[in-house]
Amino acid sequence: MPIWTEVVDRFRGKRSLERLTMDELDREKIKLDLQERKQIQQTQQFEREKEKFFAQGIRESSSQMKLYYARKVKELDSDVRLNDRVLKALSHKIRVYNGIVSVKKWMQILSEDKRSLLNKLSLAELTQWIEGNTVDGELRQQQLDGLVSAVESGTGVIADVDANEEADVQKIFELMNSAPIDIKAPEDIARDSMPEVNTILRERA
């Protein structure tokens, strides 16, 4: 579901920018920030567990158990990637809400006629415009000026938005098997090996 449809659904009944209050936007941003923080903490926990399983695999003398722990690392990496997709979606949504807040604040310095025009924009139009005009996570003055010009000229504000495995268990097993446990502790090896493990897990078949 596109972000703009989620925003419109969330504020069902508030069809125009004028009817959407800053308090409502602030409440939604707080919820999104909390969700984002929770996902980050969960991802960090998954990464710690990956290191733990890798270290356990290094300790094992049995090939079967090493392969078992290699699979556990792979399973956890799937959780990490799923969380990453969720975080990207949350980040996108937060940028849209930040964009709406920016437009609302910026409107305060406009003339009454221009405010009146922008207030009549539907949330669907505005959120799609924000998605297409956000640069480096924020709206710039040039984009905001362009929004007013588009509304005044009647050309419309909606821009086209581009719609924006696998780890080989055997390779992880080989890393565990070749770990220099006579030189380093398994936990240290696991920590040092994670960049290489992550590279393997993200290789395209």
Span 144-198, pLDDT tens digits: 777 767 666 655 554 443 333 344 577 887 788 777 776 778 888 888 888 888 8
Q: Minimal CA–CA distance to 84: which of 42, 136, 33, 29?
A: 42
Please say whether the dihedral angle defined by the alpha carbons of residues 97, 99, 102 and 103, taken in this order, is positive or negative.
Answer: negative
- Is 120 a residue whose pLDDT tops 80? no
Q: What are phi and psi of 111, to 5 degrees?
A: -70, 160
Question: Which tokens hold the place of 3?
Answer: 């972000």
- CA 158 – CA 150 distance, rounded (Å): 9
Q: Which residue has the higher pLDDT, 12 or 52?
A: 52
pLDDT at 9: 67
- Residue 19 Cα distances to 100, 114, 136, angstroms: 12, 16, 28
- The span from the CA of 78 to the CA of 75, in Å, is 5
pLDDT of res. 178: 79
Q: In the predicted model, what is the mean pLDDT of the chain?
A: 79
pTM for the structure as a whole? 0.64
Cβ atoms of 148 and 120 within 8 Å: the answer is: no
> pLDDT at position 140, please?
67
Determine the pLDDT at residue 71.
Answer: 93
Q: Are the beta carbons of 129 and 139 closer than 8 angstroms?
A: no
The first and second tokens of residue 199, run together, are 């590279």
% of the chain exceeding 70 in pLDDT: 75
